[in-house]
Amino acid sequence: MSNVSRRKGARVENDVPRKLNHHGIPARKISRMYQSGHDIDAVVRGQTLRVEVKSRAQGFGTIYNWLTDRDVLIVKADRKPALVVLPLDLAAQLVSTL
């Protein structure tokens, strides 16, 4: 992995807890360079959620296109549970009002 990619990943991983904390959701970056595991711990309604963060220049274009003029996207593969995709600010806003 190049230094540019590593810095970009770290920047995004640090930005997510900052946004969650801004919305009143306790979150912290887990420092695990070169170790397996999740990137962030976020506490929602007393439950610690393990959060994985991925950032790609063009890799998620289809997902963003599907979200155009929509608030929430639900995707499902055969024999897998459905996943909900929504903007981080909306997710944090929804969770913080619970």
pLDDT tens, residue by residue, 41-65: 999 989 999 999 988 888 899 999 9
Q: How many CA atoms lie within 13 A of 29 on its CB side?
A: 15
Q: Tokens standing for 95?
A: 């969770």
28 beta partners: 41
- Could you tell me the pTM of the whole model? 0.81
Q: What is the pLDDT of residues 56-95, one digit of tens each?
A: 888 899 999 999 999 999 999 999 999 999 999 999 999 8
